[in-house]
Amino acid sequence: MKRKLLFAVLALPLLAVGQGPKNASQFGTHTVGGAQTASPNTVAADVCDSTQKAVATPNSATSSKRGIITYDFIKVGSTYYDLQTNASIGRRVHLLPNGNVSVAWTTSEDEAFNKRGTGYNHYNGTNWLTVGNPTVRLESVRLGWPSIGINGTSEWVMGHDAIAGGFVMSKSSTIGSGSFTQGPAILTQFGRRPIWGRVANSGNYFHCIASYSDSTNAGDPRAPRINGVYAPMTYSRSKDGGATWDIQHILLPGYDSTRINSGGGDEYAIDVKDSIVVIVVGDHLKDVTLWKSTDNGNTFTRTIVDSFRYAPYTSKRLMLDTPFVCDGSVEVMLDHAGNAHVFWGVSRVFDDDTTNDTYSFFPGTSLLGYWNENDKVSKFIAGGNQFDRNADGSLTVSAGNTNALQNGVVPAALKNQGISSVARLGNTSLLHSPSAGIDGDGNIFVVFSFPLEQDLDANNVNLRDIMIVHSADGGATWAAPQDVTQMIGFEEEFGAIAKDVNDFVHMIFQKDQTAGTNLQNNSAQDNNHPVALNDIMYAAIPVAKILDGSIETLWNSNVNQFNADKEVFVVSQNYPNPFSNNSEVLIWLSSGSDVTVEITDISGKVIRTVTYSELNAGNHYLSLNADGLSAGVYFYTVKTATHSVTRKMSVN
């Protein structure tokens, strides 16, 4: 068992990350086989300055000088519990064939987190069930980490019971009703606590991967070694819609101590398509490994996607070359041909002492790893100077972004530099938690979290945004990252998109005003990140704007963000329709602009005009009012100075 160790102390308040030689000084340390909480150690920034493995050079950063764009999105829920994952995000958004969208997240109605459970909302193509209202959990027991999906005409969510272990599935016979029936505890194990599940289904076949809680608290069970692996990832399967599970908590072939020392919560991802099941695993000290089944989980074939040269790692092995590794946040997606695409956040590791049980890692790394079944080459598709928003030749972020609590408090070295908080998510890197989707034309989209230069919170720590990269040729080449949230003064974290993409990438994310999370970064002594109500936001991002690169926004205060020439996209038909009082229409603005809504009758006569001044880029609901209108058919036109979209509406 590895022990945690403070390796060094930061000397500067900001970390300048460049493309040159390694910035020696700081390393984070972590315990092999230890608990999956954040390591309480400081670390230094580092990027791709080595030739340890063959990689593809990411595209150059965009150099155009566009203005600071503040985006607006739609609030669909809230939560006091603000930790949506330890690493990999999982499937939290589901796009239905009719264009409707269901979303799920971990919520808590109270500040003590006693009423923790599944937050849920549904977009019926034109409106959300509970727009902007506080979220009430679906279940009557304390759960977390939900997955969501559909099975025929029914809808399901499944979360873990962190106290007792095992999972609870709730089902709704009507998709989008919000009325779920809670099922019994499933996939429990005597003497063990399986939690941190990821679930996906194809029809009645449900596939679940999970790990084991590991606690040092008195009376809590310790995670077991199976096949020589501490707290391993396990696989379970149901063939009857989750009613019974014919396979429970088995290890996949090759998941053993020949290459793996320990597992860990949320360090895995799953996807299914028809009878194909793909599962990916990775972290600092093991390979990025893909398992694929083409017979609904009866048999699996293992592929090492990105090899860890020191596997299986033990504390007696030196790692002096700081190899590139996975940071534990992974994603896997099947394309239309059934080929797997694997993504992961990248870190680096180091160990120069065989006399103790620690290793060190670089959470300042900013790279996105990628592999697919077509070319079978591991490479980087985003990173480095692509995130240099102020174009000064280096990535400059606060040391608070790469630090965790030290012995339960904010490190004194940070406080001495005017940094009063820490914001590292577990043991992940600056770039982490990818979430992928694909549209009908085979365009692939991946979002991930990254701290934005110059956008600092009150604690002098950089706030995170959600970035997106895309490929229009099946993963052969990738466009430069674009910032899709950029809500200045707020942190956007835990971005999750629907696997299926139509004309829009459908995404949810968590928003608050303090970098990091209360669950992993708050010190009771320092009270640097107290419990607060976080918003769950929804974004419908036009694929056309992603593909042409116009979502991107760069820092340049000399350029006004409002531009009347930018397009307006109508995301939805107005709802309700027909209506007698008020109706709403959801739009996307590609840039800030004045927006006018004109209502005309069937002869083309303008009946009413409403102007919305200086709306920010992003999503907005616009109101349509039927007061004074006779029953009949009308048209509404949403327009900027140079662009307009017209739809039909009916008044009762």
Cβ(369)–Cβ(478) below 8 Å:
no
Which domain-ending residue is among 482, 514, 547?
A: 547
**Average pLDDT over every residue of 460-481:** 96
Q: Between the ranges 41-50, 344-353, 575-584, where is the mean pLDDT highest?
A: 344-353
Band of the pLDDT at 434, cuts 50, 70, 90? very high
pLDDT score for 552: 63
* Residue 6 burial by Cβ neighbours in a 10 Å radius (0-12, 13-18, 19+): middle
End-to-end CA distance of the chain: 70
Summarize the chain as % helix, strand, coil (round to 5).
Answer: 5, 45, 55
pLDDT score for 2: 36
Q: Is the pLDDT of residue 154 over 80?
A: yes
Same domain, 581 and 542: no
Band of the pLDDT at 221, cuts 50, 70, 90? low
Which domain-ending residue is among 547, 578, 607?
A: 547
**Average pLDDT over every residue of 291-313:** 97
Q: Between the ranges 93-102, 188-197, 335-344, where is the mean pLDDT highest?
A: 335-344
In a domain, 29, yes or no: no
DSSP state of 585: E
Mean pLDDT of the chain, nearest integer: 85
Q: How many CB atoms lie within 10 A of CB 573?
A: 15
pLDDT score for 26: 33
Tens-digit pLDDT profile for residues 594-605: 888 999 998 889
Angle made by CA atoms 216, 147, 38, in degrees to the nearest 5: 30
Same domain, 401 and 267: yes
Same domain, 543 and 572: no
Instruction: Say what percent of the chain tops pLDDT 90.
Output: 63
Structural tokens at position 632: 């009949």
Same domain, 500 and 580: no
Same domain, 190 and 235: yes
Band of the pLDDT at 47, cuts 50, 70, 90? very low
- More reliable by pLDDT, 620 or 249: 249
Same domain, 439 and 335: yes
| CATH number of residue 127's parent domain | 2.120.10.10
- More reliable by pLDDT, 559 or 177: 177
The residues, ordered by sequence, that sit 6+ positions from 305 with a Cβ below 8 Å of its Cβ are 280, 282, 287, 288, 289, 290, 342, 371, 378
Alpha helix ranges (H) inside 338-463: 412-416
**Average pLDDT over every residue of 228-247:** 96
In a domain, 43, yes or no: no
Q: What is the pTM of this model?
A: 0.85
**What is the torsional sign of CA 466, 472, 476, 478?**
negative
Q: Is the pLDDT of residue 462 over 90?
A: yes
| CATH number of residue 603's parent domain | 2.60.40.3080
In a domain, 563, yes or no: no
The C-alpha atoms of residue 622 and residue 136 are separated, in whole angstroms, by 26
**Average pLDDT over every residue of 255-259:** 96
Q: Is the pLDDT of residue 103 over 50?
A: yes
Band of the pLDDT at 64, cuts 50, 70, 90? very low
Same domain, 501 and 589: no
Residue 288 identity (one-letter amino acid): V
The C-alpha atoms of residue 436 and residue 455 are separated, in whole angstroms, by 26
Cβ(561)–Cβ(71) below 8 Å:
no
Largest Cα separation within the chain, whole Å, is 85
Structural tokens at position 515: 């970098």
Q: Which helix (H) or strand (E) holds 521?
A: helix 518-521
Distances (CA, A) of 573 to 360, 517, 569, 621, 637: 53, 37, 11, 11, 12
In a domain, 57, yes or no: no
Q: Which helix (H) or strand (E) holds 543?
A: helix 543-547
**Range(s) of the domain holding residue 539:** 73-547
pLDDT score for 119: 96
In a domain, 555, yes or no: no
Helices first, then strands: H and E counts in the chain: 3, 42
- 483 in helix, strand or coil? strand
pLDDT score for 217: 66
Q: Is the pLDDT of residue 555 over 80?
A: no
The C-alpha atoms of residue 320 and residue 341 are separated, in whole angstroms, by 31
pLDDT score for 125: 77
Q: Is the pLDDT of residue 290 over 90?
A: yes
Per the structure, the count of domains in the chain is: 2
Structural tokens at position 13: 């308040």
The C-alpha atoms of residue 596 and residue 406 are separated, in whole angstroms, by 53
Instruction: Say what percent of the chain tops pLDDT 70.
Output: 85
- More reliable by pLDDT, 4 or 565: 565
Q: Is the pLDDT of residue 216 over 70?
A: no
Tens-digit pLDDT profile for residues 112-136: 999 999 999 998 877 888 766 667 9
Half-sphere exposure of 497 (CA within 13 A, CB side): 32
Tens-digit pLDDT profile for residues 359-391: 999 999 999 999 999 999 999 999 988 888 777
- More reliable by pLDDT, 144 or 57: 144
pLDDT score for 66: 34
Tens-digit pLDDT profile for residues 477-527: 999 999 998 888 899 999 999 999 998 999 999 999 999 999 999 999 999
Same domain, 531 and 596: no
Band of the pLDDT at 6, cuts 50, 70, 90? very low
Band of the pLDDT at 584, cuts 50, 70, 90? confident
Q: Is the pLDDT of residue 35 over 70?
A: no
The C-alpha atoms of residue 137 and residue 110 are separated, in whole angstroms, by 11
Strands 500-501 and 432-439: parallel
In a domain, 102, yes or no: yes
Same domain, 137 and 186: yes
The C-alpha atoms of residue 496 and residue 159 are separated, in whole angstroms, by 16
Which domain-ending residue is among 547, 580, 610?
A: 547
The residues, ordered by sequence, that sit 6+ positions from 635 with a Cβ below 8 Å of its Cβ are 599, 600, 601, 602, 646, 647, 648, 649
In a domain, 53, yes or no: no
The C-alpha atoms of residue 554 and residue 619 are separated, in whole angstroms, by 19
- 418 in helix, strand or coil? coil
The C-alpha atoms of residue 199 and residue 25 are separated, in whole angstroms, by 41
DSSP state of 321: S
Same domain, 578 and 492: no
Same domain, 242 and 351: yes
Same domain, 373 and 408: yes
Give the DSSP per-residue string, 108-147: ESSTTSTTEEEEEEEE-SS-BTTTTPPP--S-SS--EEEE
**Average pLDDT over every residue of 428-434:** 97
Cβ(533)–Cβ(417) below 8 Å:
no
In a domain, 285, yes or no: yes
